[in-house]
Amino acid sequence: MATRQQLGWEHGPFEIPTDVYAKWDAKQAGAEKEAAWNEKLAAYEAAYPELAAEFKRRINGELPAEWEEKATQIIADLQATPANIASRKASQNALEAFGAMLPEFLGGSADLAPSNLTMWSGSKSLTAEDASGNYIHYGVREFGMTAIMNGIALHGGFVPYGATFLMFMEYARNAMRMAALMKVQNIQVYTHDSIGLGEDGPTHQPVEQMASLRLTPNMSTWRPCDQVESAVAWKFAIERKDGPTSLIFSRQNLAQQERDPQQVADIAKGAYVLKDCEGTPELILIATGSEVELAVNAAAELTSEGKKVRVVSMPATDVFDKQDEAYRESVLPSSVTARVAVEAGIADFWYKYVGFGGKIVGMTTFGESAPAGELFKMFGFTTENVVSTAKTLLN
């Protein structure tokens, strides 16, 4: 009351004077602008029906009519032409294959494009002088990049993807959490995914970041083991319209795994049986990313000693958790309690899948500065250690 008297405001609480209301009332002007826009849109649709249809497709978040058939064939072709490459390179190859079908791709990186490998032949830098590009050089601004991508997703008409090292997702955590909360499509490419980063040391070696991403509600997190799983992960991220996806890729080369067509199809379910035995397994090895090859090698050694071992590749735990009970039971039978999880990330996350009676070959400390090969040996990511850990359960 005293403030109103001091300001000479003679109107009552919540009372808006007519002249003030009139200046702020934009209903009529808005209606006129909307009518004018609709008129122009109708004229554009009549003059350019194909372009108008493409515009509507993109605004509605729909994929091209040929998407499913072509994307599925691309994945099948990758399985038929094995390549032992880093999954960050596999990611770039997926961008090259899928990008030709997706003019709505709007990429970028936080000053790490040559390392993240997020530019492809169709990429064109967006600059102050030329706004026709489809690739944004965000600078060293992980949070800014991710927040801008949220805005792009909310605007509509684009499929935004950005990139940095996995360790630096820490700077973007707030924006990624908001993407998950708002349920917007924000695709983050996180490369250099483990202690395999090597000599840059523990400051640059992610340990707890994968678990953090997986525990974020409505976040989908993928860590592929080769070029085929990488392409499936990209396909999933492109198709997902109700939340963000984190794609985690390696710096080092990864061996491509053998699969039949059903196994290739099952990758999209988040986890699947990669190697199996006759009958019910005695032991299940669960692995992701660069550690899948390690699990396969350990299984081969155990099998040669007469053990019945199954290897499960689990590139996306959240996707697997959403499968029906019958499928989850077919991959991880509840009757098989001897389980070992292998991942070069924080160990504790994996108790969810191995149980308190299982074993985990994972990280319980920060990394160290040394060549990647030496670090993997130092922290127990060797065939010998996985075999030894498995035998403690089987015995």
Which residue out of 62, 68, 96, 142 is catalytically annotated?
Answer: 142
Measured in residues, the chain has a length of: 395
Angle at Cα 288 formed by Cα 282 and Cα 294, nearest 5°? 65
Strand partners for 246: 188, 221
CA distances from 357 to 22, 291, 339 (A): 71, 21, 8
Q: What is the DSSP letter of 129?
A: S
Tell me how far the alpha carbon of residue 220 is from its chain's centroid: 6
Q: What is the SS3 assignment for 345?
A: strand
Tokens at residue 351, please?
């108790």
CA 132 to chain centre: 27
Each as own residue / partner, the long-range contacts of residues 236-240 (CB below 8 Å, 24 or more positions apart, any chain) are: 236/268, 236/316, 236/319, 237/161, 237/187, 238/63, 238/98, 238/102, 238/159, 238/187, 239/63, 240/185
CA dihedral 69, 74, 77, 83 (to 10 degrees): -160
Supply angle C-alpha 210, 343, 372, rounded to 5.
95
Q: Verify whether residue 32 is a known catalytic residue.
A: no
User: CA torsion 39→45→48→52, rounded to 10°?
Assistant: 120
For residue 291, give the nearest of 217, 170, 389, 200 by alpha carbon: 389
Can you tell me the distance from the alpha carbon of 194 to that of 204, in angstroms, rounded to the nearest whole number? 9
The continuous run of DSSP H or E covering 272 comes out as: strand 272-275
Active site residues: 142
